[in-house]
């Protein structure tokens, strides 16, 4: 990490101030631990703005502990693990010929490991997309739909997490992060996953029939107009 990045983190309040001697700032083990934690959170997909909000929500003396526990509680929400395989096996694994390896690589769903092997990220999503391709849908349109869905689901996820942060988590922090309540807080997070998933699925089931209905009505209108012209 560059000196500029360290100073930027300190300026945002993500790091406690260094110990100053004259014009020289000294960083110690506590700063290194915080930087490692920030790096870990970023690897898990946290933006600096999100990490900043977490730090702001905790007293300075407990911020690192709070962030560590917050990361630990996200374990039930870990992304689907990637799958590594020889590149020549990908077509049979995905069940589509040609396997559109280049397009999936450009979209970030497939990574070339450089030794004749590839890494498939979000394998469940890749296989779902392959099934849609077999149903006759073009891959480029599916990838664009995936991008839009991810944007919208990201907003939903951020709303759920923000609600948790402003209620259950905020109260936990205000009480001083009592160790005897940490298991209960973790349990809330674990149980929030199926609640959030069911909410998204229920909303989709509610809106999908309307979208299909619009399609059918549009087709009926076109057929009716064609009948009138004939």
What percentage of residues in the chain have a pLDDT greater than 70?
85
CB neighbourhood size of 67 (10 A): 21
For residue range 200-226, list pLDDT tens digits in order.
889 888 888 888 888 788 877 777 666
What percentage of residues in the chain have a pLDDT greater than 90?
23
The Cβ-side half-sphere exposure at 228, using a 13 Å CA radius, reads: 6
For residue range 111-139, list pLDDT tens digits in order.
999 889 999 999 999 999 999 999 999 99
- Show Cβ contacts of residue 126 under 8 Å, excluding neighbours closer than 6 positions: 94, 104, 109, 110, 120
User: In the 8-state DSSP scheme, what is residue 98?
Assistant: S
Residue 230 has pLDDT above 60, yes or no: no
Q: Read off the pLDDT of each residue in 31-49 and give the average, rounded to a whole number.
A: 79
Residue 148 has pLDDT above 80, yes or no: yes
């Amino acid at each position: 990490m560059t000196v500029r990045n360290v100073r930027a983190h300190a300026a945002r309040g993500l790091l406690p101030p260094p110990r100053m001697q004259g014009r020289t700032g000294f960083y110690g083990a506590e700063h290194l631990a915080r930087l490692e934690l920030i790096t870990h959170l970023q690897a898990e997909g946290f933006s600096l703005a999100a990490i900043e909000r977490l730090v702001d929500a905790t007293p300075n003396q407990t911020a690192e502990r709070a962030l560590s526990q917050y990361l630990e509680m996200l374990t039930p929400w870990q992304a689907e693990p990637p799958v590594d395989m020889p590149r020549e096996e990908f077509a049979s694994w995905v069940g589509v010929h040609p396997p559109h390896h280049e397009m999936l690589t450009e979209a970030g769903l497939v990574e070339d490991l450089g030794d004749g092997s590839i890494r498939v990220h979000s394998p469940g999503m890749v296989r779902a997309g392959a099934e849609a391709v077999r149903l006759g849908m073009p891959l480029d349109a599916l990838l664009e739909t995936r991008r839009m869905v991810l944007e919208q689901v990201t907003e939903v996820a951020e709303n759920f997490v923000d609600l948790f942060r402003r209620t259950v988590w905020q109260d936990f922090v205000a009480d001083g992060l009592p160790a005897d309540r940490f298991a209960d807080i973790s349990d809330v997070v674990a149980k929030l996953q199926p609640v959030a998933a069911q909410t998204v699925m229920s909303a989709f089931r509610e809106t999908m029939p309307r979208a299909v209905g619009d399609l059918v009505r549009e087709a009926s209108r076109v057929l009716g107009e064609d009948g009138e012209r004939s």
